[in-house]
């Protein structure tokens, strides 16, 4: 993928409308400035120099320039390899970026041998809050491209051997005169591999890799959060032609829970209580995340919305011994569908309740009084 690549016009510091001679002089100026011979030991100038050359190679050619104007860098991307065919949950995006970086910096392992590190894979997994609490070992099935067994990843049919590329003599790179300079570039005949496969392996059609379902066991530690990433080193795609494999990243997301809301290590839940329990006080049971129960004591005169803290009943903190708390918020419920008898009793209660304190009501009616009082006072 070339998302990290700079626009060719920007690289050459010219307008999109620049004509041939403008391009040429811009290229000359920049190539002189960033030529590695003029900047010995400066790796970044080498990268710049390569970028400038690449940009000029494309823009000086009418057809290539037209293709670039239309499709951008995508116009020159070589057939997307193995990673593209995977199902939902997979994307081989990471090492594309790394490969771009390393490819451009010329540090790719085993230059000229075509060895490449396999792509990193992403696997999205949703887990329940209970699993995040307890931790678990999950079995996952992943389609992963692995080294082809028939040809040991070489890509040549059994009994045959790849031939040394005649264009580059096996070096994988060719030298080419360009303007004033001799440039080294990837061999176009063998794409840098140094070898040509004449009889491709039928199992992998010469790519050296095949797709297999692989079952992996993933250890999910206690206390993982939404967005936690687990890296399984070396479990990504197989490398190309004996290159090292990529990594597999498990991206965890937490399913929402019917009872608990998580806030860091703390858990919150809302519990309805009756008007009578709230007024008289009492005790009720609430479930806990470990599928147990705990008692919550409410004092008499409890107002709706009050929170009670139960220490140590929250979530474990990832890679630590700490545990969060659980907060229980009560919601006082007004009863509905009262029987005649119940209505009578409540009406009776209302008559008798002149002595009871209604803290919120008292506060409110004081404010109302002040409100009207202040209006009366304004002229």
Per CB under 5 A, does 189 bind Zn ion?
yes
Residues annotated within a binding site for Zn(2+) = 148, 151, 165, 168, 187, 190, 201, 204
Q: Return the number of the residue (45 or 203) whose C-beta is nearest Zn ion.
A: 203
Query: Least Å distance between CB 208 and Zn ion?
Result: 6
Query: Least Å distance between CB 163 and Zn ion?
Result: 10
Query: Least Å distance between CB 153 and Zn ion?
Result: 7
Per CB under 5 A, does 298 bind Zn ion?
no
State the first-to-last Cα distance of the chain, in angstroms, to the nearest integer. 75
Query: Least Å distance between CB 172 and Zn ion?
Result: 6
Q: Return the number of the residue (127 or 201) whose C-beta is nearest Zn ion.
A: 201
Q: Pick the piece of the chain touching Zn ion (CB under 5 A) from 131-139, 140-148, 257-265, 268-276.
A: 140-148
Per CB under 5 A, does 168 bind Zn ion?
yes
Q: Pick the piece of the chain touching Zn ion (CB under 5 A) from 134-142, 182-190, 212-220, 272-280.
A: 182-190
Helix, strand and coil percent figures for the chain, each rounded to 5: 30, 25, 45
Query: Least Å distance between CB 67 and Zn ion?
Result: 24
Binding mask 85-124 for Zn ion (x = CB under 5 A): ----------------------------------------
Per CB under 5 A, does 165 bind Zn ion?
yes
Site size toward Zn ion (CB under 5 A) is 12
Q: Pick the piece of the chain touching Zn ion (CB under 5 A) from 148-156, 212-220, 329-337, 360-368.
A: 148-156
Strand arrangement, sheet containing 121-127: 121-127, 248-254, 229-232
Q: Return the number of the residue (193 or 313) whose C-beta is nearest Zn ion.
A: 193
In Å, what is the CA distance from 229 to each residue of 94, 249, 256? 14, 6, 18
Query: What element of type H or E holds 225?
Result: none
Question: Dihedral sign, CA of 152, 153, 156, 157?
Answer: positive
Q: Pick the piece of the chain touching Zn ion (CB under 5 A) from 77-85, 164-172, 257-265, 268-276.
A: 164-172
Q: Return the number of the residue (127 or 148) whose C-beta is nearest Zn ion.
A: 148
Angle among Cα 242, 246, 252 to the nearest 5 degrees reads 160
Q: Return the number of the residue (207 or 302) whose C-beta is nearest Zn ion.
A: 207
Strands 326-333 and 266-274 come out as parallel
Per CB under 5 A, does 211 bind Zn ion?
no
Per CB under 5 A, does 150 bind Zn ion?
yes
Nearest to 314 by CA among 339, 338, 289, 337: 289
Cβ pair 125, 136 in contact under 8 A: no
Contacts 24+ apart (CB under 8 A), 211-214: 211/82, 211/85, 211/143, 211/144, 211/145, 211/146, 212/143, 212/144, 212/145, 212/146, 213/141, 213/142, 213/143, 214/141, 214/142, 214/143, 214/144, 214/146
Per CB under 5 A, does 30 bind Zn ion?
no
In the beta sheet, which residues pair with residue 316? 323
Query: Least Å distance between CB 106 and Zn ion?
Result: 17
How far apart, in whole angstroms, are the C-alpha atoms of residue 335 and residue 275?
Answer: 8
Per CB under 5 A, does 240 bind Zn ion?
no
Per CB under 5 A, does 224 bind Zn ion?
no
Residues that bind Zn ion (CB under 5 A): 148, 150-151, 165, 167-168, 187, 189-190, 201, 203-204
């Amino acid at each position: 993928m070339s998302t990290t690549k700079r626009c060719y016009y920007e690289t050459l510091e010219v307008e999109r409308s620049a004509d041939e001679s403008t391009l040429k002089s811009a290229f000359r100026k920049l190539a002189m400035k960033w030529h590695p011979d003029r900047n010995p030991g400066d790796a970044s100038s080498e990268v710049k120099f390569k970028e400038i050359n690449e940009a000029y190679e494309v823009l000086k050619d009418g057809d290539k320039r037209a293709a670039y104007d239309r499709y951008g860098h995508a116009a020159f991307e070589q057939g997307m390899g193995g990673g593209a065919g995977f199902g939902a949950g997979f994307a081989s995006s990471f090492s594309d970026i790394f490969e771009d970086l390393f490819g451009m910096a010329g540090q790719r392992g085993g230059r000229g041998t075509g060895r490449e590190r396999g792509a990193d894979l992403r696997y999205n997994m949703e887990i329940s809050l209970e699993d995040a609490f307890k931790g678990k070992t999950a079995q996952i099935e992943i389609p992963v491209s692995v080294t082809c067994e028939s040809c040991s990843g070489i890509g040549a049919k059994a009994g045959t051997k790849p031939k040394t590329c005649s264009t580059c003599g096996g070096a994988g790179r060719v030298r080419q005169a360009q303007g004033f300079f001799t440039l080294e570039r990837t061999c176009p005949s063998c794409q840098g591999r140094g070898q040509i496969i004449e009889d491709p392996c039928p199992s992998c059609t010469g790519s050296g890799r095949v797709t297999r379902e692989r079952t992996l066991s993933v250890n999910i530690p206690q206390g993982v959060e939404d967005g936690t990433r687990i890296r399984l080193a070396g479990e990504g795609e197989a490398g190309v032609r004996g290159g090292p494999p990529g990594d597999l990243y498990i991206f965890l997301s937490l399913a929402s829970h019917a009872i608990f809301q998580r806030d860091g290590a703390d858990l919150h839940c809302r519990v309805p209580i009756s008007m009578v329990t709230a007024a008289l006080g009492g005790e009720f049971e609430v479930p806990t995340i470990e599928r147990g129960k705990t008692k919550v004591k409410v004092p008499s005169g409890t107002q709706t919305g009050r929170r009670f803290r139960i220490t140590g009943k929250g979530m474990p903190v990832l890679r630590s011994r700490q545990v969060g708390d659980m907060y229980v918020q009560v919601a006082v419920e007004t009863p509905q569908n009262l029987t005649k008898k119940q209505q009578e009793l409540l009406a009776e209660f209302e008559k008798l309740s002149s002595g009871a304190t209604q803290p919120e009501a008292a506060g409110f009616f004081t404010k109302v009084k002040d409100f009207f009082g202040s209006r009366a006072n304004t002229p």
